[in-house]
Amino acid sequence: MMISSITIIYPDGTRQPVSKGSTAGEALALKGLRRSDEVIAALVNGKPMDLAYRLEADATVAPVTFDMPEGKEVYRHSSAHIMAQAVKDLFPTAQLTIGPPIEEGFYYDFAYERPFTPEDLEKIEARIQEIISADRPFRRTEMSRQHAIEFFKERGEDYKCEMIQGFAEDMVSAYDQGGLIDLCRGPHVPSTGCIHAIKLLTSAGAYWRGDERNPMLQRIYGTSFPTKKELDAYLHKLEEIKKRDHRKLGKELELISVNDEVGPGLILWLPKGATVRLQIENFWREQHLKHGYELVYSPHVARLDLWKTSGHTEYYRENMFAPMQVEGMDYQLKPMNCPFHIMIYKSRLRSYRDLPLRYAELGTVYRYERSGVLHGLMRVRGFTQDDAHLFCVPEQLEAEVAKVLNFTFFVLKTFGFTEYQVYVSTRPAKAVGSEEVWAQATAALEAALKSCDVPYSIDEGEGVFYGPKIDIKIKDVLGRSWQCSTVQVDFNNPERFGLEYAGEDGHPHRPIMIHRALMGSIERFFGILIEHYAGAFPTWLAPVQAIVIAITDKQKDYAQAAARRLADAGIRVEADLRSEKMGFKVREAERAKIPYMLVVGDREVETGEVSVRRRGGINAGSRLLDTFLEQLKQEAAGRDLHPSIGNEPVLKGEVPNRSSKAEGE
């Protein structure tokens, strides 16, 4: 007996009989859940599907809109296909490869004989608008694997043929949008007209399958939104990101330098950048000592055997530099600090009374990153980890992880980060240790997060080879997420290195090891700080905290004496005694993003005062030099933070006045 109807379960739990073979869109319309073009796809049994997908059995069905993660993927994947059609229309010899949605946009890679120019992108964008106006439906079709190979071979799409040959399925799907048929699993929006606001952003080279041994392709990046208002807001954000680019500001503010003669991915810290780094490191050491850590140091190289024991040569080889020969022995530039801390643990016998042990090090490591992925401070080959390794008995594990989490949030908050996304990463496909041990470690991480009342998500299969981990992504002032902090449980290395402690029963036992980094690496964290603050660091971090500016040559001696007084009190200060116009010197100080400008003229010399200007053009009035000094010391010592754009520190008793001018200007 044929079943002519099936049951649909909606998000609110209600049930509705529909004819077998009805589309997901029709099922949603019955419930009033498909209004205009806001609904662009459907979740069928939790999986995104086309609205035209035919329902053949009982199912749960829910609408997909752009404001959902699944909706953004569908919307931008469809946008990539529309762009691909425009490129093929204008450049028929371009071969199609892949065109996925990505965070906040999409791209498509083309095999073409030359890079696409800005003028090309304008033409492509104009053609995209024509395709959208045509409002052609996306129609899914299925064909056998062999038929698909022949189909795309006839059209000269060699890369599509190569992709299909790698598929295990006997049947493959493609989408026809009335001008382009592209290999794709889908789903897609109902028609090209569903895409309303689209913008092509840039083009770049990209290797086929991300392998530098493969041919170079031409990649076009774009983004799309349901409304022009949303698109304009995003483009404004991109402009703000450009202004804050740490590579640009790092050069302008004389913080860092990257030199090809030194080597790509290797950072030179200039005096001002090194000054900021010193403040970060001093805070790091101070707080680690307060939190019960012991500071250690380790060499930059070790015998390769150490990395064989740790498992890095087996699981991490591609990210390690080639070994070097020393007196007939293989030595390795260290990619990690952990084996050294393990050997420090092994330097003498340990008792349960000694545990937990917490070793911390600002340890510089070296990893072979391909040149194509290097990016300023964010992706480098040599960097300093704010590293620590804890050794504890099993009963201490959950409490130690909880302490690390609380410490992490304290440190991040001190630097101005208060929004986080937290993930527990579970066992990957390539891992060591039993599933039982992994489950035990994962449970401990989750229990610690719950005890700290921290919400989290599961990131399946993203743990490191030796154990599960907690990853913390911070959000900057522009709402971007950055991976920094990590906490990893390791049962494997204590086993590999034969670590032991004498238990309360007098017998040897195996400790548990915790790997953790709070900031990740100093380099990357510094790059994030530059962009978070747009180079205008809070006073406690600023390389120069104040500058004394003499209006004329007559005040030089007083300005020099004032600068010496501040320097003697520990303030990072400069004096501008040049015979330049006052307005020019103030603008120079503003460009350098110095928090305080202390202007001195004849009146200030007579009264022993300074006229205080805050970064951002705010005149804070005159005050005695010693009064200003004490207030500045309190602000710096308290590590006051004001991370939002334009919200500068306010000294006690100050009345902001943006219109008043200093004497002589």
Residues forming the active site: 338, 367, 385, 387, 389, 469, 515
Listed in order, strand segments (DSSP E) in 208-277 are 216-225, 256-258, 267-269
Closest CA to 125 of 185, 157, 85: 85
Residue with tokens 């190979």: 149
Please report the DSSP string for 293-355 in residue order: -EE----SEEEHHHHHHHTHHHHSGGGSPPPEEETTEEEEE-S-SHHHHHHHHTTS--BGGG-
Pairing verdict, β 357-366 and 329-333: unpaired
- What 49-53 contacts at long range (C-beta under 8 Å, 24+ apart), as own/partner pairs, is 49/24, 49/186, 49/187, 50/24, 50/138, 50/140, 50/186, 50/187, 50/188, 50/190, 51/23, 51/24, 51/25, 51/190, 52/23, 52/24, 52/25, 52/139, 52/140, 52/190, 53/23, 53/24, 53/187
Tokens of 109: 């890679």
Q: What is the DSSP letter of 117?
A: P
C-alpha to C-alpha distance for 558 and 156, rounded to whole angstroms: 78
Confirm if 285 and 567 have CB atoms less than 8 A apart. no
Closest CA to 338 of 563, 497, 115, 156: 497
Closest CA to 270 of 249, 241, 285, 297: 249
C-alpha to C-alpha distance for 416 and 477, rounded to whole angstroms: 9
Pairing verdict, β 481-490 and 457-459: unpaired
C-alpha to C-alpha distance for 268 and 235, rounded to whole angstroms: 32
C-alpha to C-alpha distance for 25 and 32, rounded to whole angstroms: 10
Q: What is the CA radius of gyration of the chain?
A: 30
Largest CA distance in the chain: 105
Q: What angle do CA 112, 121, 179 make, to 5 degrees?
A: 70
Tokens of 367: 């990893």
C-alpha to C-alpha distance for 497 and 389, rounded to whole angstroms: 15
Confirm if 43 and 49 have CB atoms less than 8 A apart. yes
Confirm if 17 and 40 have CB atoms less than 8 A apart. no
Beta-carbon contacts of residue 263 (< 8 Å; ≥ 6 apart):
381
C-alpha to C-alpha distance for 24 and 8, rounded to whole angstroms: 10
Residue 226, preceding bond cis, omega within 30 degrees?
Answer: no
Confirm if 81 and 198 have CB atoms less than 8 A apart. no
Confirm if 424 and 459 have CB atoms less than 8 A apart. yes
Beta-carbon contacts of residue 33 (< 8 Å; ≥ 6 apart):
10, 39, 62, 63
Pairing verdict, β 546-550 and 512-521: unpaired
